């Protein structure tokens, strides 16, 4: 089967033979990953190869006890990585700007593209692969477990190994619902029914709604992951309005927050009755937090930094 035929008939593999991948093959798939396109040649990603068995077990557990993470010959964690760019710029006397939104956007893209190329290369060599989004269930713990510095955030995992199953390709939506021409076209009731009909074979129940709702409906898996992701994103330095150091300070004081708004809401929940922002005499941000018997002031380059300083003053003994 040529590479294109393989692409057209591929399916994720979750059962693997206990056979290692020869170094030469591993080298080729990683070379293919590195040759993926990357915005401005920034290569704002890293690939973490997990070899330690105990670490694999723990990551499998944090991902919802997915055994293929442990059983596959290889398990990679794809990382969005601005830390390396920061180090490279500093090394030659320059410095990384502050662009958390663009940074996240392009680092996620780079990581996903590198991972996709790794996966396609592995499949072209006859190996099976499976992406692991379950790693995002507890992305905060994953970031700690893997010693990720500020500027680095897990994107997804990827298992690669010798397949011990040959799953049938899974269905996809009708092409006209996915590929639009010139202008985005909305979906008619008929289109939506056609989508459910096309996707029905995905599960034995024949009801795609169950699967969709499990992840994407109110109370589903994505909603459960979202606040965890927000907080991890902040501590790793990717929040819009909360620098990593400020997010860390809040975390240490038990006020973990993914944004400035969440930090303020957390303070109000903890019995603080007022949070008043202003600007200091020299243009810095200033904040007062107060409750019945006390008030604390903080200042910093941005409102989030000021708030972290006030919180540090309010909880001096807690780290």
Ligand X SMILES: Cc1cc2nc3c(=O)[nH]c(=O)nc-3n(C[C@H](O)[C@H](O)[C@H](O)COP(=O)(O)O)c2cc1C
Q: How far apart are CA 212 and CA 265, in angstroms?
A: 31
Could you say which of 28, 47, 131, 191 contacts ligand X (CB under 6 A)? 131
Tokens of residue 123, six digits: 């499949």
Q: Does 12 bind ligand X (CB under 6 A)?
A: yes
Q: Give the shortest CB-11-to-ligand X separation in angstroms.
A: 4
Q: Does 210 bind ligand X (CB under 6 A)?
A: no
Q: Give the shortest CB-225-to-ligand X separation in angstroms.
A: 11
Tokens of residue 20, six digits: 């290692």
Q: Does 66 bind ligand X (CB under 6 A)?
A: yes
Q: Give the shortest CB-78-to-ligand X separation in angstroms.
A: 9
Within 164-193, the residues that bind ligand X by CB under 6 A are 170
| Closest listed residue to residue 39, CA positions, set 96, 80, 97 | 80
What mask of x and - would describe binding to ligand X in positions 18 to 57, judged by CB under 6 A? ----------------------------------------
Contacts 24+ apart (CB under 8 A), 121-127: 121/28, 121/29, 121/32, 121/33, 122/29, 122/160, 123/6, 123/7, 123/10, 124/3, 124/6, 125/25, 125/28, 125/29, 126/163, 127/21, 127/25, 127/29, 127/160, 127/161, 127/162, 127/163
Could you say which of 34, 47, 133, 313 contacts ligand X (CB under 6 A)? 133
Q: Does 247 bind ligand X (CB under 6 A)?
A: no
> With respect to ligand X, which residue has the nearer C-beta, 201 or 278?
201
Q: How far apart are CA 158 and CA 194, in angstroms?
A: 31
Q: Give the shortest CB-101-to-ligand X separation in angstroms.
A: 21
Distance of CA 254 to the CA centre of its chain: 23
> With respect to ligand X, which residue has the nearer C-beta, 112 or 313?
112
Q: Which stretch binds ligand X (CB under 6 A): 127-135, 233-241, 282-290, 296-304?
A: 127-135
Could you say which of 6, 11, 213, 270 contacts ligand X (CB under 6 A)? 11
Alpha-carbon separation of residue 110 from 92, 240, 315 (angstroms): 23, 20, 40
Q: Which stretch binds ligand X (CB under 6 A): 32-40, 130-138, 215-223, 259-267?
A: 130-138
Could you say which of 153, 156, 243, 255 contacts ligand X (CB under 6 A)? 156
Q: Give the shortest CB-198-to-ligand X separation in angstroms.
A: 13
Q: Does 14 bind ligand X (CB under 6 A)?
A: yes
Q: Does 118 bind ligand X (CB under 6 A)?
A: no
Q: How far apart are CA 298 and CA 279, in angstroms?
A: 11
Could you say which of 44, 80, 132, 234 contacts ligand X (CB under 6 A)? 132
Summarize as ranges the residues that interact with ligand X (CB under 6 A). 11-12, 14, 66, 130-134, 156, 170
């Amino acid at each position: 089967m040529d590479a294109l035929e393989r692409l057209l008939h591929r399916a994720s593999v979750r059962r693997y033979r206990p056979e290692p991948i020869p170094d030469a093959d591993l080298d080729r798939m990683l070379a293919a990953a590195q040759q993926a396109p990357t915005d401005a040649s920034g290569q704002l990603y890293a690939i973490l190869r997990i070899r330690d068995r105990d670490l694999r077990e723990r990551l499998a557990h944090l991902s919802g006890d997915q055994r293929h993470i442990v059983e596959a010959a290889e398990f990679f964690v794809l990382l969005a990585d601005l830390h390396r760019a920061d180090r490279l710029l500093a090394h030659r006397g320059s410095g990384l700007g502050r662009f958390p939104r663009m940074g996240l956007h392009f680092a996620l893209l780079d990581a996903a593209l590198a991972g996709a190329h790794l996966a396609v290369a592995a499949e072209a060599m006859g190996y099976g692969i499976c992406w692991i989004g379950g790693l995002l269930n507890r992305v905060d713990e994953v970031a700690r477990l893997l010693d990720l510095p500020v500027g680095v955030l897990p994107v997804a995992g990827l298992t690669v190994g010798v397949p011990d199953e040959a799953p049938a390709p899974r269905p996809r939506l009708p092409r006209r619902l996915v590929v639009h021409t010139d202008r985005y076209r909305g979906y008619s009731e008929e289109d939506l029914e056609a989508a459910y009909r096309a996707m029905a074979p995905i599960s034995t129940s024949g009801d795609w709604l169950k699967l969709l709702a499990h992840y994407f409906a109110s109370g589903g898996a994505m909603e459960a992951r979202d606040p965890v992701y927000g907080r991890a994103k902040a501590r790793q330095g990717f929040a819009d309005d909360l620098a990593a150091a400020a997010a860390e300070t809040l975390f240490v004081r038990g006020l973990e927050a993914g944004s400035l708004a969440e930090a303020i809401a957390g303070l109000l929940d903890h019995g603080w009755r007022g949070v008043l922002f202003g600007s200091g005499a020299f243009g810095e941000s200033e904040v007062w937090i107060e409750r019945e018997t006390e008030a604390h002031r903080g200042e910093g380059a941005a409102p989030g930094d000021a708030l972290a300083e006030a919180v540090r003053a309010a909880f001096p003994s807690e780290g």
